[in-house]
Amino acid sequence: MKRFWIFFLAVALLLSSCGRAATATPVPTTVSPTETPLPATETPVPPTATPGPRTLTVFAAASLTDSFKEIGKAFEAANPSVTVAFNFAGTQALVTQLTQGAAADVFVSANQTYMDKMVTAALVMQGTPKDFVTNVLEVIMPANNPAKLQTLQDLAKPGLKLVLEDKSVPAGAYSLTILDNLSKDAGYGADFKTKVLANVVSNETDVKQVVAKVQLGEADAGIVYVTDAIAAPTLKTIVIPTKFNVIAKYPIAALVHATQPDLAAAFVAYVLSADGQATMKKWGFTPVTP
Amino acid sequence: MLLGLPLLALVWRAIGKDFFSYALSATALSALKLSLLTSIASVLIAIVTGTPMAYILARWKFRGKNALELLIDLPVVLPPSVAGLALLIAFGRTGVFGAWLNAIGISLPFTTAAVVMAQTFVSAPLFVGAAREGFAAVDEQIEEAAIVEGANEWQIFRFIMLPLAGRAFLAGLILTWARALGEFGATILFAGNLEGRTQTMPLAIYLGFESSLGIAIALSVMLMAVSIVLLGLMRRLERRSEVDTHPE
């Protein structure tokens, strides 16, 4: 009987730990439970005249967590009986989930490349993605700046504990581009990128993980979006000059297989509207439609 | 059905998709090597520290024993991300104990040692539990007979307890190793993710599945194969021990 208990526990643990490896995000990036939408038996009606409770599912890049939560609340207030359910994660994780069959209505990417992937996969209709904000990156340090970083040059200091996003994450790819740009400058030297990358101690799965590790003081520095630094005001920052920086364009699009296509379109319209853009600006993003 | 289909689907996808070129890629091999090294280290630590602990828990009675047992069993049911966060808060650079360690120059997060710590934390209790059962199942009369014959504590342990509890030990060992191999949540939080230093197979699968599905699938199939072998071993041990303890 006891042996059976051990065996059962082994099966459960193996399956659960393997399952976690494939699906779980370590620090809960807020995933609101996705309720099963009502079957689309009703003809699409304008959101302001919805007959029953409906859920709009939005898959958005992790850097949009704070701003989009606010937009979600505003959208819910304007559309009673609509609940907006968010899945915030690294864009790369969202794309994998969507291409493998996850159900959502709206997709918001942190770069063009992943939105293009979605168009190629026929999950987003060609020509529908719209850039709605841009973002730039900067270096963050813990409040007490343990490594005493003053300038970008200090990123190459030996022994520094630098945390970046994995290169598959948009912010990670942007960071590498920025390092390339810096290495082309005589002031930094051609081996600047190599030196900085030698300081990387961890490649995280999204920007919020990097923010968390820096906030906890585990890392001496990280490279994230300025909007992430604004959302975590205790962090110290080093600005990356525009000539080296990357302008991250965020496209938004309704998904082809959305179960709530009218709501999806309305949500996209709201994000692009003056109110939506004002919210994004408040969180530090640069609106595309002024 | 639910258990079988995802695993079958995984194998189905893996077949023919350049499986070996993915499985033998630098990333995959690095993750495999790291996983094996760290999980075996974790198992060894579990044996060395867990065996005396299990013996004490099985044989002795003392105040606070229940609390100690609860503490030891806790990591088994604790969600791995909670375990990871706890390790970080305890042993992180600014952590409760970590701050002292940092003062003497030891920094644990982002190291391979941290991977071993995370794995040991979540898997060692499994070994202690199994070993405890094994020790407790040894017939006291045999032990008493040995004492009458003049055996000392060490001889009893070496010649009676170990052999008789051997099967339970092996089962516990296998369980511990499987759990350590599969550990993800605590590892990524406490040790981070860096290829070659802290990127174990589960981490490589999680990140690979976003940038290179091929590598993720290849690694998953490898882990699955290892798991099947381990489970098979455990079942055989379980059946044989049932025969042993029920000789009639």
For residue B228, the domain's CATH number is 1.10.3720.10
pLDDT, mean of residues B211-238: 80
- Under a CB-based contact definition with an 8 Å cutoff, are residues A224 and A236 in contact? no
Query: Is the pLDDT at A195 greater than 80, yes or no?
Result: yes
Please, which pLDDT band fits residue A32 given cuts at 50, 70 and 90? very low
- Asked whether residue A155 is domain-assigned, the answer is yes
Residue B62: what pLDDT? 84
Q: What is the pLDDT of residues B139-156, one digit of tens each?
A: 888 888 888 888 787 787
Distance CA B198, CA B208 (A): 14
CB < 8 Å to A95, chain B: 210
pLDDT for position B230: 80
Element containing residue A196 per DSSP (H, E): helix A192-198
Average pLDDT over residues A13-36: 43
Q: Does A7 touch chain B (CB under 8 A)?
A: yes
Kindly identify which residue of chain A lies nearest to residue B188, measuring between CA atoms: A26
Same domain, A103 and A154: no
Average pLDDT, chain B: 85
What is the structure's pLDDT at B170? 87
Same structural domain for residues A109 and A170? no
Q: Is residue B89 part of a domain?
A: yes
pLDDT digits (tens, 9 = 90+) for A69-92: 999 999 999 999 999 999 999 999
> What rounded mean pLDDT belongs to chain A?
86
Q: Chain B within 8 Å of A249 (Cβ-Cβ)?
A: no
Domain match, A38 and A120 both: yes
Which of B92, B178, B234 lies closest to A216 in CB terms? B92
Residues A124 and A142 in one domain: no
Q: Specify the higher pLDDT residue, A45 or B99.
A: B99
Q: List the end-to-end C-alpha distance of chain A, in Å, as a whole number.
A: 70
For residue B200, how far is the Cα from the chain centroid?
14
Do A212 and A277 fall within a single domain? no
Scanning the structure block, which residue is given the tokens 């959502």?
A104
Residue A7 domain flag: no
A1 in contact with chain B, both atoms CB, cutoff 8 A: no
| Residues 127-166 (B) with a CB less than 8 A from some CB of A | 129-130, 133, 137
Looking at residue A40, what is its pLDDT? 44
Whether B248 shows a pLDDT value over 60: the answer reads: no
The percent of chain A in helix, strand and coil, each rounded to the nearest 5, is 40, 20, 40
Instruction: Return the pLDDT at A26.
Output: 39
Least confident of A46-50, A69-73, A148-152: A46-50
The reply to whether B112 touches chain A by the CB within 8 Å rule is no
- Supply the CATH number for residue A266's domain: 3.40.190.10
Domain, as residue range, for B96: 36-237
| Closest by Cβ to B194, choosing from A7, A168, A200 | A200
SS3 A208: helix
Which residue in B246, B195, B58 sits closest to B136, CA to CA?
A: B58
Distance, in Å, from the CA atom of A89 to the CA atom of A63, rounded to the nearest integer, reads: 8
3-class DSSP assignment, residue A23: helix
Task: Using an 8 Å CB-CB cutoff, list chain B residues near A7.
Answer: 171, 234-235, 238
Which of A4, A6, A214 would you mutate first to test chain B, the one with the most B CBs within 10 A? Answer: A6
Chain A CA closest to residue B129: A6
pLDDT of res. B234: 76
Tokens linked to A84: 């907006």
Q: Is residue B246 part of a domain?
A: no
| Chain A environment of B205 (Cβ under 8 Å) | 21-22
From CA B77, how far away is CA B82, in angstroms rounded?
10
Residue A244 lies in a domain: no
Lowest mean pLDDT among A150-154, A255-259, B239-243: B239-243
Q: A86 and A172 in one domain?
A: no
Selected for mutation to probe chain A from B73, B76, B82, B110 (highest A CB count within 10 Å) is B110
Contact yes or no for A161 and B110 at CB 8 A = yes
Of residues A234 and B246, more confidently modeled? A234
How much of chain B, in percent, has pLDDT values that exceed 90?
29
Say whether A17 and B220 touch across the interface (CB within 8 A).
no
pLDDT of residue A245: 95
pLDDT of residue A4: 57
pLDDT in tens, B39-85: 999 999 999 999 888 888 888 888 888 898 898 889 888 999 899 99
- How far apart, in whole angstroms, are the C-alpha atoms of residue B179 and residue B174? 9
B243 — pLDDT class (breaks 50, 70, 90): low
Q: Is A185 part of any domain?
A: yes
Predicted confidence at residue A84, as pLDDT, reads 96
How does pLDDT run across B166-188, given as a tens digit for each residue? 888 888 999 899 999 999 999 99
The answer to whether A122 faces chain B, any CB pair under 8 Å, is no
Task: Give Cα separations from A255 to A104, A262, B166 (angstroms).
Answer: 7, 11, 58
**A204 and A158 housed in the same domain:** yes
Distance in Å, alpha carbon of B158 to nearest chain A alpha carbon: 23
- Residue pair A254/A109 in contact (Cβ under 8 Å)? The answer is no
Structural domain containing residue A32: 27-133+250-287
Predicted pLDDT at A280:
95
Specify which residues A200 forms β-bridges with: A162
Asked if the structure places residue B10 within a domain, the reply is no
B26, part of any domain: no
Inter-chain contacts counted by CB atoms under 8 A, chains A and B: 135
Q: What percent of chain A has pLDDT over 70?
A: 82
- Judged by average pLDDT, the poorest of A26-35, A159-168, A220-229 is A26-35
Same domain flag for A65 and A95 = yes
Is the pLDDT reported for residue B118 higher than 50? yes
- pLDDT bin (cut points 50, 70, 90) of residue B225 is confident
pLDDT of residue A67: 95
Q: Is A114 within the bounds of a domain?
A: yes
Within a domain: B123? yes
Contacts of B168 in chain A (CB under 8 A): 3
Say whether A168 and B175 touch across the interface (CB within 8 A): no
Using the predicted structure, report yes or no on whether residue A219 has a pLDDT greater than 90.
yes
Q: What is the pLDDT of residue A267?
A: 96
Across residues A32-39, what is the average pLDDT? Answer: 42
CB within 8 Å: B238 and A15: no
User: What pLDDT, on a 0 to 100 scale, did the predictor assign at position A8?
Assistant: 54
Q: Domain for residue B83, yes or no? A: yes
The first and second tokens of residue A22, run together, are 């494939």
Cross-chain Cβ contact A3/B238 below 8 Å: yes
**Average pLDDT in the B23-28 region?**
80
Q: Say whether B194 sits in a helix, a strand or coil.
A: coil
| A213 in contact with B, Cβ within 8 Å | yes
Q: Using CB atoms and an 8 Å cut-off, which of residues 90-109 of chain B contact chain A?
A: 92-94, 109
pLDDT for the residue numbered A257: 93
What total number of domains does chain A contain? 2
ipTM of model over 0.90: no
Q: How far is A198 from chain B (nearest CA, A)?
A: 11
* pLDDT number for residue A19: 43
| pLDDT recorded at residue B141 | 83
What is the rounded distance in angstroms from the CA atom of residue A17 to the CA atom of residue A84?
30
User: Touching check for B77 and chain A: CB below 8 Å?
Assistant: no
Contact B84 A205 (CB under 8 A): no
Q: Are residues A164 and A207 in the same domain?
A: yes
- What would the DSSP string read from start to end of B19-36? HHHHHTSHHHHHHHHHHH
Alpha carbons within 13 angstroms on the beta-carbon side of residue B219 total 33
Would an 8 Å CB–CB cutoff place B203 in contact with chain A? yes
What is the number of alpha carbons within 13 Å of residue B127 lying toward its C-beta? 28
Name every residue whose Cβ is closer than 8 Å to that of residue B160 and which is 6 or more positions away in sequence: B138, B142, B143, B146, B151
| Residue where the block lists tokens 């860096």 | B194
User: Looking at the structure, do residues A34 and A120 belong to the same domain, yes or no?
Assistant: yes
pLDDT tier at A24, thresholds 50, 70, 90: very low
Amino acid identity for residue A170 in this structure: P
pLDDT, residue B144, reads: 83
Across the interface, of A92, A166, A201, the residue whose CB is closest to B110 is: A201
Residues of A in Cβ contact (< 8 Å) with B85:
27
CB contact under 8 A, B194 and A216: no
Residues A121 and A263 in one domain: yes
- pLDDT tier, B245 (very low <50, low <70, confident <90, very high otherwise): low
Contact A15 B130 (CB under 8 A): no
Kindly tell me if the per-residue pLDDT of A31 is higher than 80.
no
Look at chain B and report how many structural domains it folds into: 1
